[in-house]
Amino acid sequence: MKNTMTGGDKRRADRINQVLDAAADCFVEYGFHRAGMSKIAKRAGMSVGHIYHYFESKEAIIAAIVDRESAVAAERFSEFDAVNPNELARFMAERAAQSISEKTDIFQSALNLEMLAEGQRNPEIAQIIQRHDQYIRAQLTQILREKLGLNEPEARTDMLMVLFAGLANRVLRHPGLEREKLVPMMRHSMLLILSPDYASAQ
């Protein structure tokens, strides 16, 4: 698809991403409550008023960070469209194994945990996080049901998400995690969950 973004649109998108990156840094370094707009503005190299031009609150910034993550996930899911359905389970397992280093990024794991913690105190943040989770879950469940023809796709989706969420959190407790040793285990676990014979084998 041809990119129809104008120069002004691109500048706006770049500035928004500049704010989101700065906010993410501040949330991890200071925590949500101590990361005030002044700190975010300083990290972004902008005035506080300029940030309010794009976002009305820190909650709005978090919503945008989560929406950006959803867009990345959607792009990854779109890769599956070109894969032969007979090869899709193995393709997904290989992609999962290759992404271990990405999913165990300490910064992203810390950011996610900070937002989850804030979600326990702030219903608005909780709704943002849950909306993202529902989107990812729906997309993945649809792939398992329609492209792989698996039974119990919802349960399988939740188990896949447990694998990745657990892996992301594990690195915070064990920074020296030998990730390369997890690759064959992740591949095997994925293939098991995505196997059409899994339910009948229980």
Radius of gyration of the chain (CA): 19
Do 4 and 77 lie in one domain? The reply is: no
At residue 57, what is the residue type?
S
| CA dihedral sign of residues 108, 131, 128, 14 | positive
CATH code of the domain containing 70:
1.10.357.10
Do 82 and 135 lie in one domain? The reply is: yes
Reply yes or no on whether the pLDDT at 202 is more than 70.
no
Q: What is the mean pLDDT of residues 141-162?
A: 95
Do 116 and 132 lie in one domain? The reply is: yes
The span from the CA of 153 to the CA of 149, in Å, is 9
Give the confidence band of 102 by pLDDT, cuts at 50, 70, 90.
Answer: low
Do 120 and 46 lie in one domain? The reply is: no
Q: What is the mean pLDDT of residues 95-107?
A: 75
Do 161 and 68 lie in one domain? The reply is: yes
Do 128 and 96 lie in one domain? The reply is: yes
Do 94 and 80 lie in one domain? The reply is: yes
Q: What is the mean pLDDT of residues 81-108?
A: 84
pLDDT the model gives residue 106: 80
Structure tokens at 27: 């949330």
Do 35 and 90 lie in one domain? The reply is: no
pLDDT the model gives residue 1: 46
| C-beta separation of 111 from 28 below 8 A | yes
Its pTM stands at 0.84
Give the confidence band of 167 by pLDDT, cuts at 50, 70, 90.
Answer: confident
The span from the CA of 128 to the CA of 15, in Å, is 22
Do 180 and 164 lie in one domain? The reply is: yes
Reply yes or no on whether the pLDDT at 170 is more than 70.
yes
| DSSP notation for the chain | ------HHHHHHHHHHHHHHHHHHHHHHHH-TTT--HHHHHHHHTS-HHHHHHH-SSHHHHHHHHHHHHHHHHHHHHHGGGGS-HHHHHHHHHHHHHHTHHHHT-HHHHHHHHHHHHHHTT-HHHHHHHHHHHHHHHHHHHHIIIIIS--SSHHHHHHHHHHHHHHHHHHHHH-TT--GGGGHHHHHHHHHHHT-TTTGGG-
Number of structural domains the chain divides into: 2
Domain end, chosen from 56, 73, 99, is at 56
Domain end, chosen from 56, 71, 90, is at 56
Do 78 and 46 lie in one domain? The reply is: no
Domain end, chosen from 15, 39, 56, is at 56
CATH code of the domain containing 48:
1.10.10.60
Long-range contacts formed by 101-104: CB under 8 A, 24+ apart: 101/179, 103/164, 103/167, 103/168, 104/167, 104/168, 104/170, 104/171, 104/177, 104/179
The span from the CA of 131 to the CA of 57, in Å, is 18
Give the confidence band of 144 by pLDDT, cuts at 50, 70, 90.
Answer: very high
Host domain of residue 193: 58-201
Do 187 and 128 lie in one domain? The reply is: yes
Do 151 and 134 lie in one domain? The reply is: yes
